[in-house]
């Protein structure tokens, strides 16, 4: 099912984001208020991508409400030290910088992107800021890694507000990067009509384009290039 390209309207998004903030403020006084990282950059970005992950790390209760819109003025979700943000930013830079080319960049042409020393690092940060980042569990993790059952349970308990948040970012693509996040959104009908397949485009019953991928921390260059080619081919053919 094809869907009319969603229109991101900043005032409408801000109003819905306030609803998200009010909801989670009644759940905890310590959480990440995520969503679009830099709304002004996202608004003018021709391709709007929302990455869906499990939960935030690296914060403690003294941080209170961590507002993702403040990230461009700090470390942008740990970029470039955190593998997840570095690899997602690498994918975004690769896609956004080559969409006007007559062909995608080959694997052999890939620059060395998974390094803080690469010359495109500031451009990668800008690309990351022009996207949305949504954790299905908002309260930061005190463990060394995600607890799958907690991630899934959080989606079940907060499905209605997660659905509202996903709709508010008007993404051309929802890139789901965690298995329990995918399972939870699928089974609670936040993203209705999906199959379990990974690395293939699919659409929800409402027409939302979704791509379920491995967690970015596990991406090799080969895997990132595979996902990049899928995105490049889809969005160049769609123009």
pLDDT tens track for 43-83? 999 999 999 999 987 777 677 898 999 987 777 888 999 99
**What is the CATH number assigned to the segment(s) 10-238?**
3.40.470.10
Per-residue pLDDT of 39-54, as tens digits, reads: 999 999 999 999 999 9
What was the pLDDT predicted at 221? Answer: 97
Give the Å distances, CA to CA, from 63 to 3, 38, 44, 60.
40, 20, 31, 6
Is pTM beyond 0.75? Reply is yes
Residue bearing tokens 């949504």 = 134
What was the pLDDT predicted at 1? Answer: 45
What's the count of helices (H) and strands (E) in the chain, helices before strands? 8, 8
H/E stretch holding 36:
strand 35-36
Residue 142 — very low, low, confident or very high, per pLDDT cuts 50/70/90? low
Query: Distance (Å, rounded) from C-alpha 237 to C-alpha 228?
Result: 14
User: Are 205 and 1 a contacting pair, CB within 8 Å?
Assistant: yes
pLDDT reading at 239 higher than 80: no
Per-residue pLDDT of 10-31, as tens digits, reads: 999 999 999 999 999 998 889 9
More confident residue, 106 or 141: 106
Residue 144 — very low, low, confident or very high, per pLDDT cuts 50/70/90? low
Domain boundaries, the chain: 10-238
More confident residue, 99 or 237: 99
Residue 237 CB coordination number (10 Å): 7
């Amino acid at each position: 099912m094809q869907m009319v390209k969603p229109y991101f309207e900043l005032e409408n998004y801000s109003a819905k984001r306030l609803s998200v903030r009010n909801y989670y403020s009644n759940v905890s006084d310590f959480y990440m208020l995520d969503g679009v990282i830099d709304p002004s950059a996202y608004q003018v970005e021709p391709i709007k991508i929302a990455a869906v992950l499990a939960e935030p790390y690296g914060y403690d209760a003294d941080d209170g409400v961590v507002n993702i819109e403040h990230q461009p003025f700090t470390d942008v979700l740990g970029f470039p030290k955190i593998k997840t943000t570095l690899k997602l930013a690498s994918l975004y830079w690769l896609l956004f910088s080559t969409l006007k080319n007559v062909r995608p960049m080959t694997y052999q042409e890939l620059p060395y992107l998974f390094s803080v020393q690469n010359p495109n690092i500031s451009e990668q940060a800008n690309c990351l800021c022009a996207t949305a980042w949504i954790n299905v569990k908002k309260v930061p993790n005190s463990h060394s890694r995600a607890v799958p059952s907690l991630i899934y349970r959080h989606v079940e308990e907060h499905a209605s507000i997660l659905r509202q948040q996903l709709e508010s970012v008007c993404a051309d693509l929802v890139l789901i990067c965690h298995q329990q996040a995918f399972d939870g959104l699928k089974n609670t009908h936040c993203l209705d009509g999906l199959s379990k397949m990974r690395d293939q485009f699919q659409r929800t019953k409402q027409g939302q384009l979704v791509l379920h991928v491995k967690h970015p921390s596990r991406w090799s260059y080969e895997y990132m290039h595979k996902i990049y080619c899928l995105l490049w081919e889809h969005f160049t053919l769609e123009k």
